[in-house]
Structure 1
Amino acid sequence: MHRLPAPVAAFVSLLSVAPAFAQDAAMPAPDIAVSGSAMLISDYRFRGISQSDDRMALQGGITLTHKDGAYAGAWASNLSGWGTFGGANMELDLLAGYKRSLTGNLALDVGLTWYMYPGGADKSDFAEPYVKFSGTAGPTSLTAGVAYAPKQEALGRWYRTGADAVSGTYTHPGARGDNLYIWGDAAVALKGTPLSAKAHIGHSDGNRGLGPNATSVAPTGAYWDWSVGMDAVWRNLTLGVAYVDTDIGRREAAYLQPSFSKGQDGSGSIADGAILLSLSTAF
């Protein structure tokens, strides 16, 4: 018999426990609600840039929400390539915040995300506060947000070029930088079908260069990312397809090579457009 790839096998096991959580959800709502999700995706893109070397990623998260609106949670994904994540080759995000309804269908969400890279890339850890507004208008859901990470070593330009990173030569060790990200999301449910159309656009503005582990939140200093796609929902499963791209050109990113390429071989770019396929479950 053929064995399933490890990420697929792990995802299937998560699907098998989802019904148990669904049964618990039928009980009277407690003061603290637990929700979560798991996803298998063909490529993990963070703000348009591949974090998994254009390969499959297994992701999952869990959130505890108090009835008054406070929440805390964690989310994780495997990583590969793109500089030297090292250690567990894993991203672990811890988050906490507060969400409350305003007028009508409008809600305000204020919080902080702590991005962590356990076991090898601690200098790449950084904190990023955010504010976002979300609302609905008929079948349309809209979200607009701003995230600002104040000056931290993880966001500084430690390497002038990708070649410096490969040789292990720090150009500006200990440098600190900040980062601003503004984004908007929209989703429209198609009446009478299990389908929803979705779109995203975001703009990053931060340090131009590579951080302490040869990665960066905004490697070219300022750039746009966007995506368009479609989701199909069946029970607690969602099958998604999306096209993701950025305005980072090959010439603009040349100084980042070879870090900014699949397999770190200097060819191609991990910010090129790509079609992503995903399968997710929620409880």
Structure 2
Amino acid sequence: MKKLIGVALAAGATVMSAGAANAEVSGSVALVSDYVFRGISQTDGGAAIQGSLDWSNDMFYAGVWGSNVNYGATGTTELASMELDAYVGVTPTTGPVSWDIALVGYFYPNADDELAGGELDYYEGIVGASMDLTEQFSVGGQVAYTPEYFGETGEGIYYEINAGYAVSDAVSFSAAYGVQDNDFATDSYSTWNVGGAYAIHGFTLGATYSDTEDAFENGYSLDETNSDGRFVFSIGREL
């Protein structure tokens, strides 16, 4: 996913019946120079248009998020061109710790599962936590688990630590380090990223550099270039 720690059911009837004063509906749209998920390009190095629709009510939230993708079985044959994620979660607080507990489903509506050799759709349970060390600096982490990964390739688990620093209401920086481990692979791979964002006139401009170690060598990326280090530039707007 790609957008937040979240996951699996569109809010539909819930939004219509919630009716509470605290309920909010929001959306977003973004253009990115490359869609990178856990250090690996999902668009074969190409640009992506992404958008979301979200509902929240106090500590509960649900939503959907979408993007174009470009997966190839041999680097030339496309397995899927669209990703649609659905998520539901809760964000309780215990003392200084803010939690994000979610279920997220990753769906590929036009996927060729026969060509892929297995069902591409899958879901993850995600538990994230963060804490403000100062008014500007926060640290956090998350664990994501799936019993059946992309392409029906067995269990998968992802660990991440991250940090954020807000220079002002307009300028912020972030960094993260993660490890992905799956049954199908010979070993795990690691990924890291560092980036910044600038909010101006309702838009958010972003730049992030990410890289991986052993992603291609251990079978997580079909094309070595998709797991190489890269800059990603973005422009987004909340609706």
Tell me the TM-score range normalised by the shorter chain: 0.7 to 0.9
Matched, 1:94 2:68: no
Deviation at 1:276, TM superposition (A): 0.8
Partner of 2:125: 129
Partner of 2:111: 120
Count the aligned residue pairs. 211
Partner of 2:65: 75
Partner of 1:142: 139
| Aligned counterparts of 2:63 and 2:34: Cα–Cα separation in 1 | 23
Counterpart of 2:155 in 1: which secondary structure? strand
Q: Is the 8 A contact 2:106 2:121 kept in 1?
A: yes
Matched, 1:202 2:181: no
| Aligned counterparts of 2:62 and 2:151: Cα–Cα separation in 1 | 23
Structure 1 residues 269 and 71: CA distance shift in structure 2, 3 A: same
Counterpart of 1:80 in 2: which secondary structure? strand
Q: Which has the higher strand share?
A: 2
Deviation at 1:90, TM superposition (A): 0.5
Partner of 1:212: none
Counterpart of 1:270 in 2: which secondary structure? helix
Counterpart of 1:269 in 2: which secondary structure? helix
1:15-30 residue pairs with structure 2 within 5 A? 30=21
| Aligned counterparts of 1:135 and 1:239: Cα–Cα separation in 2 | 25
Residue type of the alignment partner of 1:126: Y
Matched, 1:103 2:103: no
Q: 2:164 aligns with which of 177, 181, 187?
A: 187
Counterpart of 1:241 in 2: which secondary structure? strand
Q: What per-residue deviation string (whole Å, max 9, x for no partner) do you get for residues 64-89 of structure 1?
A: 1112x1211111110113436535x1
Deviation at 1:249, TM superposition (A): 6.5
| Aligned counterparts of 1:249 and 1:61: Cα–Cα separation in 2 | 28
Q: What per-residue deviation string (whole Å, max 9, x for no partner) do you get for residues 152-172 of structure 1?
A: 67341xxxxxxxxxxxxxxxx
State the identity %.
Answer: 33
Structure 1 residues 39 and 153: CA distance shift in structure 2, 3 A: closer
Structure 1 residues 185 and 155: CA distance shift in structure 2, 3 A: farther
Structure 2: any 5+ residue segments left out of the alignment? 1-19, 114-118
Deviation at 1:236, TM superposition (A): 2.2
1:13-52 residue pairs with structure 2 within 5 A? 30-52=21-43
Partner of 2:50: 59
Q: Is the 8 A contact 1:85 1:117 kept in 2?
A: no
| Aligned counterparts of 2:161 and 2:52: Cα–Cα separation in 1 | 22
| Aligned counterparts of 2:131 and 2:201: Cα–Cα separation in 1 | 24
Deviation at 1:231, TM superposition (A): 1.1
Q: Is the 8 A contact 1:109 1:133 kept in 2?
A: yes
Q: 1:276 aligns with which of 220, 232, 235?
A: 232
| Aligned counterparts of 2:30 and 2:150: Cα–Cα separation in 1 | 31
Residue type of the alignment partner of 1:231: A
Residue type of the alignment partner of 2:157: L
Structure 1 residues 153 and 79: CA distance shift in structure 2, 3 A: closer
Residue type of the alignment partner of 2:94: L
Q: Which has the higher helix share?
A: 1
| Aligned counterparts of 1:199 and 1:260: Cα–Cα separation in 2 | 26
Q: Is the 8 A contact 2:34 2:46 kept in 1?
A: yes
1:165-244 residue pairs with structure 2 within 5 A? 177-191=154-168, 194-209=170-185, 221-244=187-210
Q: Is the 8 A contact 2:149 2:156 kept in 1?
A: no
Counterpart of 1:138 in 2: which secondary structure? coil
